[in-house]
């Protein structure tokens, strides 16, 4: 029984059950590979679902600061994933435009600051998603 039925815990429980109950019953090698890939994907999705909204909100703030935009986070602002993802998309577009402007104007200091935001984003994604193991692939 799950005492905290959050999305991340549910996905982990499914992955654990697949590994403990279903995997031992499978004899077909192709099916084992597919099951291993599904289990791995469920564990990745668990990690992502546990922190996705938080990291998007944090990155939006970093982008707004780096691009000189006024903070969009207001009290009572929706934290629904779809709403945060829309704000994240707008912030990402603003970041891309700011990088283009800094590049075109030759502002190497601003370009360096904006590249740091991108580096931080990549590092966080790698931390959340982890290493992808290509189960059954070469």
Instruction: Report which of residues 1 and 111 the model is more confident about.
Output: 111
Q: How many domains does the chain have?
A: 1
- Residues 94-121: what's their mean pLDDT? 94
137 domain-assigned: no
136 domain-assigned: no
Model confidence band, residue 131 (pLDDT cutoffs 50, 70, 90): low
Q: What is the pLDDT of residue 132?
A: 58
Asked whether the predicted pLDDT for residue 24 surpasses 80, the reply is: yes
20 domain-assigned: yes
For the entire predicted model, the pTM comes to 0.77
Q: What is the pLDDT of residue 5?
A: 85
Specify whether the CB–CB gap between 48 and 129 falls below 8 A: yes
- The torsion region of residue 106 among left (phi > 0), alpha (psi -120 to 50) and beta comes to left
Residue 77: domain span: 7-129
């Amino acid at each position: 029984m799950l005492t905290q039925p959050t999305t991340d815990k549910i996905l982990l429980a499914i992955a654990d059950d697949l590994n403990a109950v279903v995997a031992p019953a499978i004899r077909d090698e192709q099916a084992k590979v597919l099951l291993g890939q599904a289990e791995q994907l469920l564990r990745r999705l668990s990690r992502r679902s546990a922190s996705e909204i938080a990291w998007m909100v944090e990155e939006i703030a970093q982008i707004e600061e780096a691009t000189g935009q006024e903070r969009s986070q207001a009290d009572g602002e929706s934290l629904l994933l779809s709403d945060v993802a829309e704000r994240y998309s707008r912030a990402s577009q603003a970041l891309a435009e700011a990088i283009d402007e800094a590049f075109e104007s030759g502002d190497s200091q601003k370009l360096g600051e904006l590249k740091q935001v991108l580096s931080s984003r990549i590092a966080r994604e790698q931390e959340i998603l982890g290493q992808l193991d290509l189960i059954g692939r070469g």
